[in-house]
Amino acid sequence: MGALHEGHLSLVKEARSCNDIVIASVFVNPTQFGEGEDLDKYPRQLERDAELLGDCGVDHIFTPNCDDMYGKNYGTYVDCKCFDDIPESIARPGHFRGVATIVTKLFNIVQPTNAYFGQKDAGQCVLIRRIVEDLNMDVNVVVMDTIRESDGLAKSSRNEYLSESERKAATIIYKSLTAAKELITTNPSASSSDIIDVTRNILNSEPLVSEIQYISVESMSTMEAVSQPSGSKDGTTISLACVVGSVRLIDNIVLTD
């Protein structure tokens, strides 16, 4: 969606190293924003983004406007019902429908061989793999590791919203996730409830964390909640969404694979 950072550019660089032609899209997609969210203030820096993409060797940049993607009588959406009950979908109703719709449209327009996404948006990655499978799309979905700041904070366009004190406080997110990882490493029989409690307690220790929207331990392949990570054949992640100051941030790490 633009406001590119090193996380986005890592995807571009990987694509450049593996493909003859690289196309990047920059489009702030209105259908994945809910009422009261940050659509209007989401950072738009197309000139800067184009320069960064050019420096990474992108061949073409696709920059449609809303009329191009959603015309006057637009009425078709991709709705993946199996995602309705996962925490991110409950926290952001309609978000995944918007993501599924725009990604389907972009795949139809560009017809890529490979498409690159970041693990930071874990639910989005699982969703896209699901729609590719269900809709018989001939696209290979490549998921790349989350790129982080030196203090562990996941790279995100929304980090720009953080004040200096909020930016410092936001490091508690990664600390809480790594504590969860440490627990399952030292105690493989730990339950998801135990892991979530540890994560929540650490987040609650930071006064600038004004809200914890969810903490979830889920299957890496379906995003369905699991009761014990060691019992999952598909591997597990721990995902969370919280508000630091007034800024909503998400993150996740792999617990078991």
Cβ–Cβ < 8 Å for 115, 138? no
Which class for 257: exposed (0-12), middle (13-18), buried (19 or more C-beta within 10 A)? exposed
Tokens 């690159």 identify what position?
Answer: 116
Of 5, 8, 60, 95, catalytic: 8
Distance between CA atoms of 104 and 173, rounded to whole angstroms?
32
Does the annotation count 60 as an active-site position? no
Bridging pattern class, strands 140-144 and 60-62: unpaired
Q: State the first-to-last Cα distance of the chain, in angstroms, to the nearest integer.
A: 30
Active site residues: 8
